[in-house]
Amino acid sequence: MNPPAAHEFLILGVTLDGKTFRPTDWAERLAGVMSQFRPGGPQRGNHLGYSPWCVPSVRGDIKCVVVHKDLREEEVLAWDFCVGFARDNNLRTETGRAERRE
């Protein structure tokens, strides 16, 4: 039996060689840039809150960004930007939850 596909992935603030990624506010910056990509498209005032598709978080003591697969389905270039950010900065990634967040 195949496990259910993940609904999200996490970009962790740790490089592949184990160093803490800098600057310390990288997760908030990335999520802020992605704030316009949300259900219903960009609207006035969207820059004041994070998109539900790209949210900064903390796992243990490591900053991370949770990227939801709906971003890929709605805005593939924004998804590619997040994936490229992780790759270009040699950041660790992990599969997120299989169930949807409420």
Residue 53, both tokens = 């598709």
Secondary structure string (H, E, C) spanning 17-57: CCCECCCCCHHHHHHHHHHHCCCCCCCCCHHHCCCCCEEEE
Has residue 96 got a pLDDT over 70? Answer: yes
Both tokens of residue 71? 């971003």
Where do the domains of the chain lie? 23-95
pLDDT bucket at 7, cuts 50 / 70 / 90: confident
The tokens describing 91, both together, are 């950041």
Q: Check the CA dihedral 53-9-63-17 and report its sign.
A: negative
Q: What is the pLDDT of residue 5?
A: 64
Instruction: Report whether CATH 1.10.8.870 matches the domain 23-95.
Output: no
